[in-house]
Structure 1
Amino acid sequence: MIKDLPQNVVKDIGIAVALESETPESKIWYVYLINKKDVPLETVLITSKGYGEKNGEQVKTSILRHAFPLIPAQSFKLIEPIDEATFGLSNEYWLSFYIGTDIFDKKFIFLPESIVDGNFIKLPLVNKPGVMIL
């Protein structure tokens, strides 16, 4: 029964969109997984997709899948570049990983227009400006 399954809550792990570099013509953005835990994450799987409405029409991006065998404790991992044109969509990252024999998963969703200067922080471990969901 589902009530018998353990409640494996994801804590101290975030997905962040970081401003990598900026010129007068363009900005370069990357998405990172940030592991603030004191233990490594094993068999990490991440899917990403964008969806929403743009110019009165429903829009969906391709689903991208990423796999990493190990993310060390107190570290970060580059997931993918992200196009600024998708910031008007919901950008979803679904994370699954193991700690020992326990499996964890969590969905992180950057809502439309949430990746803006007013929401920037200095991202932990990455030390770049950006927006993070814990």
Structure 2
Amino acid sequence: MKKDIFIPKVENVYIAVVNEYNEIYNSQDWNAYIINNKDVDLEMVLIVTSGYNEGKITSTFRKKLERLPAKNYAKIELMQEELFALNNTFKVSFFEGNTMYDKTFLFRKNTINLKALQPIPLMDVKGVLVK
């Protein structure tokens, strides 16, 4: 029965964590973004995030976006640097047309740091990207 279930592959949707200057608080903040690098809009985007390691689990954060336009991005959450010592998961579900897609993006512990910055698609900034 499981072999009969079609699970479509998620492509051109990414999660990025970007180090940005916050003008209100005059500080450098780490923010997580979802990026839609597709040519179509994503509908009913659900994002569930949490962090964990062998002895610690963070609380779960949920965010819903009604629509994420094609070739666009949206901020998910502010991330505290203490979370980078944990594995951080972003479970993303969305509809593209009448098809539901689902993917878990994982930032392994200690992979989010200033030395790992790379260009981020569509955003014209540098950050840490998971495809």
- Runs of 4+ in structure 1 deviating by more than 6 angstroms, as ranges, are none
Q: Percent identity?
A: 36
What do the CA deviations read for 1:86-121 (whole angstroms, capped 9, x no partner)?
100001000000001100000011001101223211
Aligned residues: 129
Ranges in structure 2 where 5+ consecutive residues have no aligned partner:
none
1 CA distance for matches of 2:21 and 2:117?
14
User: Partner of 2:53: helix, strand, or coil?
Assistant: strand
Q: Are 1:37 and 2:38 matched, yes or no?
A: yes
Ranges in structure 1 where 5+ consecutive residues have no aligned partner:
none
Query: Superposition pairs for residues 112-127 of structure 1, below 5 Å?
Result: 112-127=109-124
TM-score normalised per structure 1: 0.90
TM-score normalised per structure 2: 0.92
Residue 111 (structure 1) aligns with: 108
Query: Superposition pairs for residues 1-134 of structure 1, below 5 Å?
Result: 1-21=1-21, 27-53=28-54, 58-134=55-131
Partner AA of 1:74 in structure 2: K
User: Partner of 1:86: helix, strand, or coil?
Assistant: helix
